[in-house]
Structure 1
Amino acid sequence: MTDLLARKAALRAEILGLRVGWDPSVGAQLAEHVLASGIVPPGAVVAGFWPMPHEIDIRPLLHGLHERGHCICLPETPPRGQKLIFRAWTPESELVRGRFGTMFPVGAVTVPDSVLVPLVAFDANGHRLGYGGGYYDRTLAELPNAFRLGCAYAAQQVAHVPVEETDFHLHAVATEAGVKNI
């Protein structure tokens, strides 16, 4: 287990270091691909995320989904060891600063059926590497039927993501290069 955690930490450090120079605005291309693909079913309650520094900017996708009538929610990060709390968001929502520099709305608690998952790395088998806190894995365990769409830069794809039994895989990944079903 120690070797697995060390491999995850090394990969995380490598990709986060590279990501500093990438252009978050290519998130507009990601949004175009997702909206054109129809991968998010009509009427789905979609959990997104407000991008942190150096993450691909999915705000164009959040706005596009909202314009199509989807209920959108964003995560509030609770203390370590707990699952995320999703709160309703609209473009007019006031955002407050959360743990680890995240931003979330003050809206009502909402349960999504589709989750846009931020990624540090991903592979062709749908394995994902997050920031290491386990928030998404705990949350996805509570939402076993939710559609999981990873959102990242295309350059975040790696040959192999080390995985544990508790790691949830993705159903698809969206990048500025397109949407890939897994």
Structure 2
Amino acid sequence: MSETQTNKTELRRAARERRYALADKTFAAAIARHAGALAIPKGAIVGAYHALPDEADPALLIERLVALGCHAAFPRVAGRGLPLEFHRIPDGEVLAPGAFGIHEPMDIWPRAVPDVLLVPLLAFDGTGRRLGYGGGFYDRTLEILKVPAIGIAYAGQEVSSLPAEPHDMALDAILTEHGLRRF
């Protein structure tokens, strides 16, 4: 394991602890108020995600974006080393626990190619670097899709700097309870 990888492992541990302490039920409503600032065009497909218990929850933001005319698609882990697959949720269907305990769509549901991605994270810095969970799924997905990536985070998840490796894909913006910041 390289020094950067060892450092990232320790950073992930600390970031999980910090995020757990920041978890706030009012967050979803706070970021939903900033939906218009994202300037996502009507008809665009938004690659969303279902939040883990202490993750920054985009549920109300997604509802607001759909009300503004966007379409939501959710990620499915197709396998280790592969990019994420995105699917639309048919009416009346719900996401179910899949890989890594993450709520996912079924693979038979309609596939979609997002125009923008909402990205979960453990930490971010002022240059748009993000610290993910270490599986590289969003990095691989962003490398292929080449679409804007908007991190969804508590403001307190910001750190002064993060190490970056060649495969790490930067965020284009971060949305916190305080608003949108572009990089």
Question: How far apart are the structure 1 equivalents of 2:86 and 2:142?
Answer: 12
Question: How far apart are the structure 2 equivalents of 1:161 and 1:39?
Answer: 28
Match of 2:105 in 1: 105
Match of 1:163 in 2: 164
Whether the 8 Å contact between 1:124 and 1:157 is mirrored in structure 2 is yes
Match of 1:139 in 2: 141
Q: Residue 96 of structure 1: CA displacement?
A: 1.5
Classify the secondary structure of the residue corresponding to 2:128: coil
Question: How far apart are the structure 1 equivalents of 2:91 and 2:50?
Answer: 12
Classify the secondary structure of the residue corresponding to 2:5: helix
Question: How far apart are the structure 2 equivalents of 1:13 and 1:39?
Answer: 34
Q: Residue 41 of structure 1: CA displacement?
A: 2.6
Q: Percent identity?
A: 37
Match of 1:154 in 2: 155
Structure 1 segment 65-144 matched on structure 2, within 5 A = 65-89=65-89, 92-106=92-106, 107-144=109-146
Question: How far apart are the structure 2 equivalents of 1:91 and 1:161?
Answer: 40
Whether the 8 Å contact between 1:148 and 1:170 is mirrored in structure 2 is yes
Structure 2: which 5+ residue stretches go unaligned?
none
Question: How far apart are the structure 1 equivalents of 2:92 and 2:164?
Answer: 38
Whether the 8 Å contact between 2:46 and 2:117 is mirrored in structure 1 is yes
Amino acid at match of 1:158: V
Aligned Cα RMSD in Å?
1.5
Amino acid at match of 1:138: R
Question: How far apart are the structure 1 equivalents of 2:24 and 2:176?
Answer: 11
Whether the 8 Å contact between 1:152 and 1:174 is mirrored in structure 2 is yes
Question: How far apart are the structure 2 equivalents of 1:104 and 1:91?
Answer: 15
When residues 91 and 159 of structure 1 are mapped into structure 2, their CA distance, relative to the original with a 3 A threshold, is farther
Q: Residue 91 of structure 1: CA displacement?
A: 7.4
Amino acid at match of 1:100: F
Whether the 8 Å contact between 2:18 and 2:157 is mirrored in structure 1 is no
Provide TM-score, normalisation by structure 2. Answer: 0.92
Question: How far apart are the structure 2 equivalents of 1:113 and 1:21?
Answer: 32
Q: Residue 17 of structure 1: CA displacement?
A: 1.2
Q: Residue 66 of structure 1: CA displacement?
A: 1.2
Question: How far apart are the structure 2 equivalents of 1:113 and 1:2?
Answer: 34
Q: Residue 80 of structure 1: CA displacement?
A: 1.1
Structure 1: which 5+ residue stretches go unaligned?
none
Aligned length: 180
Amino acid at match of 1:159: S
Question: How far apart are the structure 2 equivalents of 1:180 and 1:100?
Answer: 30
* 1:109-136 Cα shifts (integer Å, max 9, x gaps): 1100100010111111011110000000
Alignment pair present for 1:18 and 2:35: no
Question: How far apart are the structure 1 equivalents of 2:102 and 2:126?
Answer: 28
Q: Residue 101 of structure 1: CA displacement?
A: 1.1
